[in-house]
A and B are shown apart, each in its own frame.
Chain A
Amino acid sequence: MSKIPNNANEEFVTLLLHEQKILPSEVNRHIAIPIRVSQEYAWLVFKYEYQPKIFDDPIASMEYIRKCAEESSVSVESLMHEANALKNHLTLSIDSPDGWVGTAHRHNNKLEIVINSQRSTEGFLPTPITMGKWIATVSTHCVLSPVNVKLKVVGCKSL
């Protein structure tokens, strides 16, 4: 569910508040979240979070480990150290109206990404904040349990 707040005259403008529940059946998908940027900004901030990170189900974990070992023709014992460390993994990509800006492919489930024409957060190219349709894409690499995703996008008018 997305909300577009009406605060266009402020220095910091919230452009999007988005919350979504993603189920294990939605693994291997790219979920596009559009963001309308209708005025000039110096930078955009994407506050992205998903919960839970750790998959806390020892019995189901063991079944995943067994299947994974079978697929890759290795012993279950060799993967046992992973049994208590299975994690949900949902990465975030950003596209400007001119194309792909980058992707945060890391394991931290709370990220603050800054996009600016001179310097952006690691994973993203320096990119001017042009007006038009921006897209944040959540890529569901690993969804072992229902995951709550939150995304807040803020525009700032000055550096």
Chain B
Amino acid sequence: MIFYPFELHTHTIHSDGSYEPEKMVELAKRAGLFGVAITDHNTVSGNRDAMEAGQRLGVLVIPGIEWTTFYGHLTVLGGSAGNWRDVNPQNVLKKVKEARLSGACVGVAHPCRPGYPICTGGYDCWGLKPKDYAIFTHYEAWSYLSPALKITNDHASDKYLEICRAGVKIACAYGRDWHKGVHQECNAVTYLGIDGDPNIRSSLNAIIKGHTYISTGIRLEAWLNSAKGVYYDIGATPNDGEYEFAGMVARSADKVSQKYAVKPQVVELSGTAGTYRCEVNGFKHFSMTVKASKGEFLQPRIYGEISGRNALLLQGTPFFFK
């Protein structure tokens, strides 16, 4: 499995973005991204041009749409576009299930962003319980720019963990909600762990299986290793027991780590199975022993500095132990 950097939430001139689809794909390539999802508000008309540009430029383009409803925004990647106008709090789970059956991934976008009337539907008003999120594939624990420094992302990360504590496995995602060029603030990326040939289907499978992590400037190559020599990638579902969590904290393929002076300090695995920490103080190898029982989870996190401020620099989909 190889983890590739993606942007999973973008807008073009087909809704309220500033760039033509071709330009968005070109910018994704220039940013060092392997792939980009086009998620225009309530339309799919820009997907074809973006996919053609992706083939030309060597960027994997995932066609999508953002259901921009009155009650919440959902990014629908691949599959059928569905009818966003029919989606409401009473039927949202049924509509998400229909989209999933068509082959789509459906994610919760910026759940804690200020909503009406600033960003209508921008705040998650579905009224769902943590267990209900099991039908979704991914959850934007971070969104927008400078994600690690925004209080709304702290709230979203807390809600994400609340869903995990309910025993629901849902991929941890970042959405830049990329509308236009802004150069003053840094962005994060979503890394997708893809088995075999990277294409639209295998990218969506990575999300469905939860092989994802989100980061600003950091690449995490790490596994849970059992005493029997079995390796588990981020987001996997190992048996309960004792493991070595080991790997390397490296610079991200994009330019964020250098441009914004990212300094990883502590690697953490935390969750209902406890908190395990290992100091790295730089881009280095690490190793720690962890233990978890059936039904518990441990989420990978990396803390450190960005532009001189302490922040959470990376978080991933937890290991859920069976």
Measured CB to CB, the residues of A under 8 A from B are 27-28, 30, 55, 64-65, 68-69, 71-74, 78-79, 82, 86-87, 89, 91, 93, 100, 102-107, 120, 122-125, 137, 139, 141-142, 144
User: Which of B12, B83, B118 is A79 in contact with, Cβ under 8 Å?
Assistant: B118
Q: Is the CB of B70 within 8 A of A141?
A: yes
- Secondary structure dominating the interface of A: mixed
Residues of B within 8 A of A55 (CB): 117
Given A68-B116, A74-B152, A105-B16, A123 contacting B70 (CB threshold 8 A) = no
Docked CA distance A142–B84 (Å): 17
Residue of A nearest to B21 (CB): A122
User: Which of A72, A93, A125, A142 is B152 in contact with, Cβ under 8 Å?
Assistant: A72
Q: What is the distance, in angstroms, from B159's C-beta to the closest C-beta of chain A?
A: 11
Q: What is the distance, in angstroms, from A111's C-beta to the closest C-beta of chain B?
A: 12
Q: Is the CB of A103 within 8 A of B43?
A: yes
Q: Is the CB of A123 within 8 A of B117?
A: no
Measured CB to CB, the residues of B under 8 A from A are 12-16, 40-46, 68, 70, 81, 83-85, 112-118, 120-121, 123, 151-152, 155
Q: Is the CB of A107 within 8 A of B16?
A: yes
What are 12 A-B contacts defined by CB distance under 8 Å? A64-B116, A72-B112, A72-B114, A74-B114, A74-B152, A82-B114, A100-B81, A106-B15, A122-B14, A125-B44, A139-B85, A142-B116
Q: Is the CB of B43 within 8 A of A102?
A: yes
Q: What is the distance, in angstroms, from B166's C-beta to the closest C-beta of chain A?
A: 20
Docked CA distance A79–B117 (Å): 11
Q: Is the CB of A71 within 8 A of B115?
A: yes
User: Which of A30, A82, A100, A106 is B118 in contact with, Cβ under 8 Å?
Assistant: A82
Q: What is the distance, in angstroms, from A43's C-beta to the closest C-beta of chain B?
A: 16
Residue of B nearest to A28 (CB): B70
Residues of B within 8 A of A144 (CB): 117
Given A74-B151, A74-B152, A69 contacting B43 (CB threshold 8 A) = no
Docked CA distance A65–B119 (Å): 11
Q: Which of B115, B117, B151 has the largest number of chain A CB atoms within 10 A?
A: B117
Q: Which 3 A-B pairs have the closest CB atoms?
A: A105-B41, A103-B42, A28-B70
Q: What is the distance, in angstroms, from B198's C-beta to the closest C-beta of chain A?
A: 28
Residues of A within 8 A of B83 (CB): 100
Q: Is the CB of A103 within 8 A of B41?
A: yes
Docked CA distance A65–B115 (Å): 10
Docked CA distance A122–B20 (Å): 10
Residues of A within 8 A of B85 (CB): 30, 93, 137, 139
Residues of A within 8 A of B44 (CB): 102, 125
Residues of B within 8 A of A27 (CB): 70
Q: Is the CB of B114 within 8 A of A79?
A: yes
Q: What is the distance, in angstroms, from B78's C-beta to the closest C-beta of chain A?
A: 17
Q: What is the distance, in angstroms, from B83's C-beta to the closest C-beta of chain A?
A: 6
Given A122-B46, A137-B85, A106 contacting B116 (CB threshold 8 A) = no
Residue of A nearest to B120 (CB): A141
Given A28-B70, A74-B151, A122-B13, A142 contacting B123 (CB threshold 8 A) = no
Q: Is the CB of A123 within 8 A of B45?
A: yes
Residue of B nearest to A87 (CB): B117
Q: Is the CB of A93 within 8 A of B117?
A: no
Q: Is the CB of B118 within 8 A of A105?
A: no
Q: What is the distance, in angstroms, from A136's C-beta to the closest C-beta of chain B?
A: 12
Docked CA distance A120–B115 (Å): 31
Q: Is the CB of A123 within 8 A of B118?
A: no
User: Which of A65, A105, A107 is B68 in contact with, Cβ under 8 Å?
Assistant: A105
Q: What is the distance, in angstroms, from B11's C-beta to the closest C-beta of chain A?
A: 9
Q: What is the distance, in angstroms, from B46's C-beta to the closest C-beta of chain A?
A: 7
Docked CA distance A89–B13 (Å): 17
User: Which of B12, B42, B117 is A142 in contact with, Cβ under 8 Å?
Assistant: B117
